[in-house]
A and B are shown apart, each in its own frame.
Chain A
Amino acid sequence: MKKVIIGAIIPLAVCVVLLVTSCGGAAPGKVVKIGVVGPMTFIQGEHHWYGAQLAAEEINAAGGVMVGNEAYQIKLVKVDSNEIISVTDAANAIERTITVDKVDFIVGGFRTEAVTPMQEIAMDYGRIFLCCGSSTKELCDKVGDDYDRYKYWFRVTPINSTYLGKVDFMLLGMVAEELKAECGIEVPKVAILAEKLEWAEDIVAAAQVLLPVMYGMEVVGTWRPSDTATEVTAELTAIEAAGAHIIFTTFSGPVGIPYARQWGEMQIPAASVGINVEAQKEGFWDATGGYGEYETTMNTYAPGVKITDQTIDFGERFVEDVGEFPTYCAGTYEALYVLKDAIEAAGTLDSDAVIVELEKTDYTGTAGRIVFDENHDVVWGPGYVTGLGVQWQDGEMECVWPPADGSWEGVVYEGAVTYELPPWVIEAWAP
């Protein structure tokens, strides 16, 4: 009987305690409550949180947010969306933070399948949501399609999937130029290697059509492994047999690690360039056992690269606090500053007034100058946010695009270095 009582009482007691603690009172004083939404047990959510926390501490230390003549402190609410595992959890989390935590604004979001219902819920409640994780263009296109409903939605980071594709092709062009200079290859042969996911479809389709027509390259084939594949030697062997000079990658999943390791191990005589999200992370070098050297991918930040006056300082403080270099999800840092400026300009927390000011945003943050287009999407281009091309060189993530010689629209970031072809590629193709 005693066991039975314990069995029934313990879970009940845990629930009661949780119920009581979850119904905590409102925060004292004048506060702006901001919900930071992300998968908090994953690196993306952690960086959402730390980026926002860093900004909130700075803003609060500097006196807070001036709403009219009153100073408000920022109070962050950590919202674990668990979105990588459960979409239902993510949707529940955002509704809870709006209705129970009563947040005034939301920043974060990462996975499109979960961000979509989260966006709908935030719009239902007319809550401003600054997205800092999902690149899917359609999320912002909704603003243009139905402004009255979706006007509360803005994307701060990353640049959208169309712009990602543009940068991707520019990186490819840079590698092709290098092959021409070093090996005299006039018409490079390109192997398209993209994970079998929907977001990669447009990039693959565009590459198949545009590379021969616009870039004068030859496409030798397209390979589509799973995003969770742990073995890509079959694809790499076929690419080598096809005589490719360049492997144009599109990877967001964990396949990026075994791919880079096997590519380096097998010394496939083709330069690797494109998108490899795993290669954007600090742990990439160790994860590939150093075989990921010369892997080239798009990124938002790179250590020691000064995109704006704020970049280096932000990167150093982030590393000091968190112990690792920020990923693009740490763009919640900028999101908070953008929001602060808009609230101060509006002089109120009223969503409609803040939206008017957000639409006027012209803020130079850590990743570039943030301006929103008519769809509330962050603008990409010279003088705005550009993104970076990074290459792993001798264990370091180095910025190689925009090129250090300023050959792209005169844009040069301090700390950028020259792109290097892998020596085994030069050896294989040099005359």
Chain B
Amino acid sequence: MISIVNAYIGRVYKEFRDEILVLPSKTIVLLFCLILFLIPLMTSELYILRILILASIFAIFAASWDLLSGFTGQMNFGHALFFGVAGYTSALLNLYVGLPPWLTIPIGAVAAVLAGLVVGVPCLRLRGPYLALATLAFPLILTGIIYIFPDITGGELGVSGIDPLSGSRLIDYYIAISLMIGLGFIMWKITGSKTGIIFHAIREDEVAVRASGINTTKYKLLAFCLSGLFAGIAGGLYVHFMRIAGPTSTLALMVSFQAIIWAIFGGIATIYGPIAGVFILVPVTELLRVMPEIRMLLFAVIVLLVLLFMPEGITTWVRDKIEKECPRCKVRNIATRKICRICSADLD
């Protein structure tokens, strides 16, 4: 029995050493996750935990945009729709039916999946700027619907009186970061799977994918639904953490655009890029509060400067500095290596 356990531990360690420690980018991700788990031991500042909780929620949201728009190339300018549909569904179920957050959040996410279908079906024939403009319209339509039924939705005032996520900031924090890491990992694995490769291929050349006998319609709809699912979880978490679901907080154009800014800043078609983008830009936005008059200007300057010098996003830039790809087998190696760790090809 002991020998089996030892063998298992040995195998896990070997995997850990050969798959994670061997690459600086994966090591950084691991350290980042570890630090996130340890932060409550280093500070009891509730405000810092609040910012990190919101960053975690927005990281899921931004990564879900990347899954759809970054990988599949289905440019979605109305990603707030998923966030808002799930947010309002969770809030209304909690307020009027009395369901607890652990039920309302998944149900809200399912509602966002349905919203993904509703958006996906009419938008399937559209591409590029036409698709972007069509998706932009959906949150505006939902906002209009919210204003038509103010007795239920609260109109412009929103729905308040919602149950908090857990009632404890520390528990909220661990829920948020665990979900962010878990869902981020799932999204990353999806993009590395066969489905993810097809998403990639659709973005690069949809006609070629269809010519290969793949039903691209099915995969594009799948991308909309998956993206809606993850964005929906983020939306449900958000309204229970903020204790309000309103049109400005969940459906405004700014909410959609923020996801795009975070994703492009971090590096699109990576999943971890948007997460990094959120975890850099959200704290920076808070730090800039010391200069309220020029806060948004400084924010824009920082984003522009980074994108000027790192046009593919900050994570891609960093990864390319610390790692290099083998020209023969395409496996990544630490930048200091002279020969590939897999095929021994010359890396220089």
Residues of A within 8 A of B (CB): 3-4, 6-8, 10-11, 14-15, 18-19, 21-22, 40-41, 78, 80, 85-89, 91-93, 95-96, 98-100, 111-114, 116-117, 120, 136, 196-199, 201, 227
Contacts and interface: CB of A to CB of B under 8 A. Distances in A.
A96 B289 contact: yes
Contacts of B158: 112-113, 116
Given A87-B242, A95-B47, A22 B287 contact: yes
A40 B50 CA distance: 23
Nearest to A139: B160
B308 interface: yes
A14 B302 contact: yes
Contacts of B247: 113
Contact of B157 (A14, A199, A227): A199
A11 B302 CA distance: 6
A85 B255 CA distance: 10
Given A7-B309, A21-B290, A40-B292, A91 B155 contact: no
Q: Which of A14, A89, A112, A113 has the most chain B CB within a 10 Å cutoff?
A: A113
A117 B291 CA distance: 23
**10 nearest CB pairs, A to B:** A198-B155, A7-B309, A87-B249, A80-B292, A198-B150, A113-B246, A99-B47, A18-B287, A116-B160, A22-B290
Given A8-B309, A18-B287, A198 B295 contact: no
B249 A88 contact: yes
B154 interface: yes
Nearest to A198: B155
Contacts of A197: 147, 150, 155-156
A15 B284 contact: yes
Contacts, number: 111
Given A100-B45, A116-B243, 19 more contacts: A7-B308, A14-B302, A18-B287, A19-B287, A22-B287, A80-B292, A86-B254, A88-B54, A92-B47, A92-B50, A112-B156, A112-B157, A113-B246, A113-B249, A116-B158, A117-B160, A117-B243, A120-B243, A201-B151
Contacts of B254: 85-86
A93 B254 CA distance: 18
Nearest to B238: A88
A7 B313 CA distance: 12
Given A14-B298, A87-B242, A96 B286 contact: yes
B293 interface: yes
B306 interface: yes
B302 A113 contact: no
B294 to A, nearest CB: 10
- Secondary structure of the B side of the interface? helix
Contact of A92 (B51, B151, B298, B309): B51
Interface residues of B, number: 41
A100 to B, nearest CB: 6
Contacts of A92: 47, 50-51, 54, 286
A78 B308 CA distance: 33
Given A11-B305, A95-B46, A99-B47, A117 B147 contact: no
A78 B292 contact: yes
B183 to A, nearest CB: 20
A196 B242 contact: no
Q: Which of B51, B292, B302, B310 has the most chain A CB within a 10 Å cutoff?
A: B292
Contact of B244 (A4, A87, A198): A87
Interface string B228-248: 000000000000001110111
Contacts of B291: 18
Contacts of A199: 155-157
28 contacts: A4-B309, A7-B309, A8-B309, A11-B302, A11-B306, A14-B298, A15-B284, A18-B287, A19-B287, A41-B293, A80-B289, A86-B248, A87-B244, A87-B248, A87-B249, A88-B54, A88-B242, A93-B289, A96-B286, A100-B47, A113-B247, A113-B248, A116-B157, A116-B243, A116-B246, A117-B242, A197-B155, A199-B157
Contacts of B290: 18, 21-22
B46 A99 contact: yes
B181 interface: no
Nearest to A120: B243
Contacts of B249: 86-88, 113
B255 to A, nearest CB: 9
A22 B48 CA distance: 13
B170 interface: no
Nearest to B57: A88
A194 B332 CA distance: 63
B95 interface: no
Given A96-B286, A96-B289, A7 B156 contact: no
A89 to B, nearest CB: 8
A196 B147 contact: yes
A28 B249 CA distance: 38
B142 interface: no
Interface string B279-317: 000001111111111010010001001101110000000
Contacts of B310: 7
A78 B293 CA distance: 11
Contacts of A113: 156-158, 244, 246-249
Contacts of A100: 45, 47
Contacts of A85: 248, 254
Contacts of A117: 160, 242-244
B156 A198 contact: yes
Contacts of A41: 292-293
Contacts of A21: 290
B95 to A, nearest CB: 13
Nearest to B246: A113
Nearest to B306: A11
Nearest to A85: B254
Contact of B309 (A6, A19, A114, A116): A6
A227 B305 CA distance: 37
Contact of A7 (B242, B288, B305): B305
A113 B247 CA distance: 9
Contacts of B309: 3-4, 6-8
Interface in B248-281: 248-249, 254
B145 to A, nearest CB: 12
A10 B180 CA distance: 29
